[in-house]
Amino acid sequence: MKFVDEFRDRAIAERIVKKIKRFDSLKVNLMEVCGTHTMVIFKQGLKGMLPKNVNLLSGPGCPVCVTSQEDIDKTIELAKDENVIIATFGDMVRVPGTNSSLEKERGNGADVRIIYSPSEALRIARENPARRVVFLAIGFETTSPLIAASLLDVQKEKIDNFYIFSSHKLIPPAMEALLESKEVRIDGFICPGHVSVTIGSNAYKFIAQKYNVPCVIGGFEPLDVLQSIYMLLKQIKEKRTEVEIEYFRAVHPQGNRIAQELIDEVFEVSDVMWRGLGTIPKSGLRLKRKFSDFDAEKEFPTKTRKSKENPDCACGEVLRGVKKPTQCKLYRKICTPEEPYGPCMVSSEGTCAAYYKYG
Amino acid sequence: MCLAIPAKILKIEDNLAQVDMAGVKRQADIRMVSNVRVGEYILIHAGFAIEKIGEKDAEETLQLLREII
């Protein structure tokens, strides 16, 4: 496949690794923020190719994983309404809430449908005019413009049985929260390629300038990731702190303006709760007041119950890069992809699932 | 979840394009990418094109990758 195969060349990968090995005097922690990067790193065996002085940490870039327990519980409550059809991306279904999961509710008769694109959620709404469709809108800046576009279509078509449960989150505030906490030393960020398609490299400038941490926006093929690591090491060695774009075949400094305008039209920035990171100011997106008719939380106020995470699940620490999955007492012993206790083991791009499958 | 896959544009009709995604024909919403033409490649995420892939940029990246210092 074009733009894929040529970026997987083994011989070139080995040459980049050789260049990486020249920085053997640097002992660094580099964080890949994006869950899709985590998957590539594990699936393609990149961790094993790197020298010991380069330690990769996985960050809070798996949308399902960072969704708060309270939000998970709310979606489960919504699913119990027999007039509601839940439309969701796949991984959300198996995340254990405090007492149940969407999958369990489906077993009890709830109508939970897994979709690939928000346009499928619209189709479900059109085909079921007597029922109400709630779309679980999770995801970062890559996904929120699509959801905004779909909602504008709903408005235009006057579909009156479609609602959004918005749990959208923004990546740069989470990176800043990690740096502010000083819990882990981060010497460089591999910034998420497809989030950056939307927000552009300029969005990370404050990280490089205020916190003196180099950033490289990387693509998702093995050569892209290795080259991003090389570029970060080069910046560190040369004592530069800049935002560089390795993935410039798709990412531009100013990002995708049309996508940004779609977000701005429909959403506004809000403080939001992240699993593992707590409430981060201005790190979420909620529907603007003029779209409140489509807001599932307003339309279906759920009973507030005390949400609780499993106290033994280390997902929160894993998301902050503080713990490796192997340091969690549930990992592999009782928490497995077949029977996950936390979202990091559920999601295909969760760090625990990546460790389990490829670690 | 932020996965996006390169696809070749086969046909364009208003805001929708027929694309070839790894040999599979699919439909993609292209309202977020401007000035795209048949034969060009776009990145598809959850049924939407999120950006055009710069062919020259891709070639330049490959040249940088092959560089031996």
Model ipTM value: 0.96
Position A302 scores a pLDDT of 83
Q: Which of A15, A143, A246 sits opposite B46 (nearest CB)?
A: A143
Partners of A268 in the β-ladder: A286
A-B C-beta contacts closer than 8 Å = 124
Pick A197's closest partner by Cβ from B6, B29, B43. B43
Asked whether the predicted pLDDT for residue B68 surpasses 80, the reply is no
As a whole number of angstroms, the distance between CA A237 and CA A233 comes to 6
DSSP string covering A208-241, please? HHHH---EEE--SSHHHHHHHHHHHHHHHHTT--
Residue A289 CB contacts under 8 Å (≥ 6 apart), including other chains: none
Query: H or E stretch including A187?
Result: none
The arithmetic mean of pLDDT across residues B47-66, rounded, is 95
| Residue of chain A nearest B23, judged by CA positions | A1
Give pLDDT, residue A359: 81
pLDDT above 70 (res B69): no
Write out pLDDT tens, residues A146-169. Answer: 999 999 999 999 999 999 999 999
Q: Which two tokens mark A1?
A: 């496949």
Minimum-distance CB partner of A192 among B2, B41, B61: B2
Please give the pLDDT value at position A335: 97
Residue the block writes with tokens 């599932």: A296
| Contact residues, A window 274-333, toward B, CB-based 8 Å cutoff | none
* DSSP H helical ranges for chain A: 10-21, 35-43, 46-49, 63-66, 69-79, 102-107, 118-127, 144-157, 171-181, 193-199, 205-211, 222-237, 257-266, 296-299, 315-319, 343-346, 351-358
Q: Which residues of chain A have pLDDT under 50?
A: none
Question: Which tens digit of pLDDT belongs to each residue from A47-78?
Answer: 999 999 999 999 999 999 999 999 999 999 99
DSSP secondary structure letters along A151-171: HHHHHHHT--SEEEEE-EE-H
Chain B: give the shortest CA distance to residue A26, in Å. Answer: 19
Instruction: Give yes or no for a contact between A100 and A74, defined as CB atoms under 8 angstroms apart.
Output: no
Rounded to whole angstroms, how far apart are CA atoms A55 and B7? Answer: 34
What confidence score (pLDDT) does residue A325 get?
A: 96
Q: Which of A57-86 are b and which e, b meaning 16 or more Cβ less than 10 Å from the residue's Cβ? A: bbbbbbbbbbbbbbbbbbbbbbbebeebbb
- Which residues of B fall within a CB distance of 8 Å from A143? 1-2, 45-46
> Measured between CB atoms, does A12 come within 8 Å of chain B?
yes
Write down the pLDDT at residue A304. Answer: 63
Tokens representing residue A328 in the block: 């969690």
- The C-alpha atoms of residue A314 and residue A319 are separated, in whole angstroms, by 9
Instruction: Determine whether the interchain pair B2/A139 forms a contact, defined as Cβ–Cβ distance below 8 Å.
Output: yes
Q: In this complex, which of B3, B32, B61 lies closest to A249 when CB atoms are compared?
A: B61
* DSSP tag of A128: -
